[in-house]
Chain A
Amino acid sequence: MSVRSTLPPSSVGVQGPHPGPPPQAGEGNRLDAALTARRSRTARRRRLMIYALRLAFAVVWLGSWELTTRLNWVDPFFVGQPSGVVVRLWTWVTDGTALGPLWLQAAVTMEEAVLGFVVGSALGIVLGILLGRVELIAEVLSPFIKGANAIPRVVLGSLFAIMFGLSVWGKASTAVVLVFFVVFFNAFQGVREVDRNLIANARILGADNRRLTAEIIIPSAMSWILASLHISFGLAIVGAVVGELFGATAGLGQLIYNAGHTFDVNGVFAGMFVLAVLALIAEGLITALENRLIKWRPSRVSGEIPI
């Protein structure tokens, strides 16, 4: 009775992700192959063009910066100079920074940021799901959470510096409060947005509350949560760097302040560059995690820009 059921599993397996007509021998296959080849050629050409344009953009941007400072149209003392930044980076790598080896500064800041990121997002996810599920707690706590979210939380850094002194937790705590709210609101919203039909279906099928949370609510909210993790690692770095402002002996933030206090603009840019590289690496890791956790989602449309 069913067309699909007549297909043996082996021929089903070779189809693409979308169910199409069963593969045909000969002519059709060759046509398909030619079409696929042409499509991948077009995609490759497009990718190359994007890389070329990105390179061109970087050349124009850095080139004009370098040129205008070389010609002294703008004073490199105030805006720095790309070649100066490269030189500063090179001396940091070869001779170390004023605070010690560069890798150590990077490691210190990353430790603070990762710690803050992990603790902040764990708290955000757990409390977001809890408040999303239990209406009473959500209603009681909502003015407090909204109030806490409204204050500029980076100032808490000074408080944490007093509470935790120079330890890693002084900075990590600043990162925690920045990360927490973003993840919390997304997890909360994600739980609230779960399709009512899916919940009804699971209940009819016999799911108890625990199963409902574990198998329906959390997977459904996962898209929201993972989206917030992208933003929040950047915030964790902000938290760590700001935390270092309130008291630290090492770290990229500290390195940048030192450079700033000694009017070393190139040093400031060099520190920012290292932070940006680390943030990009972390972003890549989070994207990999995301693809792993929600492999059930339709794959990205090729036209979509992965920002």
Chain B
Amino acid sequence: MYVIKNGLVYSMTESAPFEADILVGDSGKIEAVGKDISADCEIIDAAGCAVVPGLVDAHSHIGGVQMETEDLNECTKPCTPEVDSYYGIDPKSRDFEVAIRCGITTSCLIPGSGNVIGGWGMVMKSNPGTIAERVIRRPVCLKAATGINPKGMYSKNKQMPMTRMGIAFLLRDYLRQVREYMEKKETAAGDPEKMPKFDLGLEHGIPVLEKKIPLKVHTYMHDMVTVVEIAKEFDIEVTIDHAQGASDFYDVLTDSHVRGVIFGPISAGLFPGEGGKIDFECCKGLDDRGVRVTVMTDGPVTPENLLIYQAGEAVRKGMDPVRALRMITMNAAEMLYADSRVGSLEAGKDADILIYEALPTKYVAANLKMTMINGKVLYRA
């Protein structure tokens, strides 16, 4: 049990910060946020500091990809909906310790982008413990990818998809098969004789067609038009991940089938083709238009500490610093259906709490002083 005293609380339930204390219970939940809370327990002094929710990274591969190991790209065929990132993650990876030091308390961990359909993703906390203890939502999405990654992967073997035409076909064809599979199951009405043969890959697509989870699509520039067209056609939700060039397509991205846009990370200058536009201004542009938007690390492709830097670049391009903090907390939590647990500081939520020297999406030199997950202090500067 702790009381975090006298901090400037960016709760994400209010648009402006306020001075308050936070009571953290032994259950690992926030018990109260308010003035002058006292309790017989350890006091953490946050006077003069910013108290913010644990950061949520909406697109990451930490624990599943390292220099010598690759457990999130099953590139033996272009569509592998049947696999599940749950089995590709090493919960003891050092990357989770790095995440804690960088304030990332929750990540959406997903298959890579080598395949058009990559498999299921899940939401997992960074705290030590078994994978089963730490997963807070599984599945949370079905990963898909467009553009140069799947093209590059299969062009080597002269196998479809070598083109964007092939990618659009494979995406659509998979969703068609899932729909027909569901129809057959429904027609069978529980009669084992009439049931279609069990197909795990198609089973994994059912929650997508039922709009329980989105298709999470690695998408740059003009590919987002293709993705939204397919989303409308099958009436499914999609998230547009990476999303470089999103500022060219506001009219497309405001469609209700777009659950969210997850921008970044930047890890290069401009380069021809899908790397041809880098537009942090889309964060404000989408936010102003009511589209849920966040940024990502894509960890460990870029380092975990860059989540804040990218939110900072969105601020440089006009976004309010508190909205930028909301992007990497509540917006991401909502996109991941995890907002009942994480993303804001309010009674009943997981006590995933950070103390910074100052608002980190505004003040560049603001250091992280403490990371708490589930009411346990896991890092102190």
Q: Do they bind each other?
A: no
Question: A-contacting residues of B (Cβ < 8 Å)?
Answer: none
